[in-house]
Amino acid sequence: TDKYCVIGNPISHSKSPDIHAAFAAATGQDIAYERCLAPLDGFADTVRDLVAQGYRGANVTLPFKLEAAALATRLEARARLAGAVNTLRFEGGEIVGDNTDGPGLVADIVRNAGVPLTGKRVLLLGAGGAARGVILPFLNEKPKAIVIANRTRATADALVAHFADHVAYSGQISACGFADIEGAFDVVVNATSASLSADLPPVPASAFRAGTLALDMMYGKEPTPFMAFAASHGATVRDGLGMLVEQAAEAFLTWRGVRPETSALLARMRAS
Ligand code: ATR
């Protein structure tokens, strides 16, 4: 049995062990996956301990995604660009950092929601860690435009400059403040942390039209204020549960070489 876990603080609420147990059963992979609470000042020690115990890898969640990027001895390109790591592989004495959050979001939009991103106008709200992680996977889908709107305009500008420096095909990205958002979008993603405090990011109603896909990276029992606002202006809304399951499937793929089927599990989680 190969051992994996998810490291965070807090961690008791994490659904990842259930998701990976379902993937292991469905693919016949012999793995164990548990929750691991790391002290706020003890992430690196916790990881070294897991390596010493023979663990093969780990997922990383709040608040350790940036520390995980710093700790990794090697970073996959998509993790380096994201500046954050949600998946670690322990192999050959190396701690390899990867980021499957963005690919998970793209898979949820394209496969589960059935909305291709190619040629589309995408509005990304927020310019923090969550937003940064999805930009490269979005670019790889060849959208017509990616507009990054942030409360602090300078952070969005810096993000656009960062991608212009590192990705040759980054010309579709631009930055603005919420007040400068113009026109309607095919896809609007809320990557701000506003939903955590039940706040609505100040996105104008005109960003939505009938058929817009409005996706909040958060999920909970109730629709977030962003989802309620978008729905009231004609958008089709989606929470972050699909992204959660898909980032897990991408992590499972990097560890085990097989990508589990996700739709039955996602339907089961939505029903319960
Ligand atoms: P995360 O890792 O979740 O992205 P973060 O890096 O702290 O967390 O980034 C939080 C993002 O949510 C930022 O883009 C922040 O905007 P600022 O750069 O202006 O701080 C955004 N944000 C947080 N609360 C918000 C709110 N109430 N309305 C709009 N944007 C908000």
Per-residue pLDDT tens digits for 114-137? 999 999 999 999 999 899 999 999
Q: Which atom of ligand 1 is nearest to the CA of 151?
A: 19
- What is the total count of domains within the chain? 2
Q: Which residues of the chain have pLDDT under 70?
A: none
Domain that holds residue 171: 102-242
Distance 163 CA to ligand 1 centre (A): 19
Helix 16-27 × helix 263-271 angle, to 10°: 140
Report the pocket of ligand 1 as residue ranges, CB < 6 Å: 126-131, 150-152, 155, 192-194, 199, 201
Catalytic residue among 3, 15, 65, 120: 65
Distance 194 CA to ligand 1 centre (A): 7
Give the closest residue to 39 by CA, choosing from 8, 68, 72: 8
Q: Dig out the tokens for 151 from the structure.
A: 């409360």
Q: Which helix (H) or strand (E) holds 215?
A: strand 213-216
Are 221 and 233 members of one domain? yes
Distance 150 CA to ligand 1 centre (A): 8
Tell me which residue has its CA closest to atom 27 in ligand 1. Answer: 194
In this prediction, residue 43 carries a pLDDT of 98
Q: Which helix (H) or strand (E) holds 8?
A: strand 2-8
Distance 153 CA to ligand 1 centre (A): 11
In this prediction, residue 272 carries a pLDDT of 85
**CATH code of residue 150:** 3.40.50.720
**From the CB of residue 97, how many other CB atoms can be counted at a distance below 10 Å?**
26
Tell me which residue has its CA closest to atom 12 in ligand 1. Answer: 192
List of long-range contacts for 61-68, beta carbons under 8 Å, 24+ apart = 61/6, 61/7, 61/8, 61/11, 61/14, 61/16, 61/86, 62/8, 62/9, 63/8, 63/9, 64/7, 64/8, 64/9, 64/38, 65/129, 66/129, 67/43, 68/43, 68/97
In this prediction, residue 46 carries a pLDDT of 98
Are 129 and 94 members of one domain? no
Are 63 and 119 members of one domain? no
Are 67 and 80 members of one domain? yes
pLDDT tens digits, 209-226: 999 999 999 998 899 999
- Judge whether 65 counts as a catalytic residue: yes
CA angle 146, 239, 28 (to 5 degrees): 105
Q: Which atom of ligand 1 is nearest to the CA of 126?
A: 14
By most ligand atoms within 8 Å of CB, the mutation choice from 62, 148, 193 for ligand 1 is 193
CA angle 135, 88, 56 (to 5 degrees): 150
From the centroid of its chain, how far is CA 191? 9
Residue ending a domain, choose from 37, 69, 99 = 99
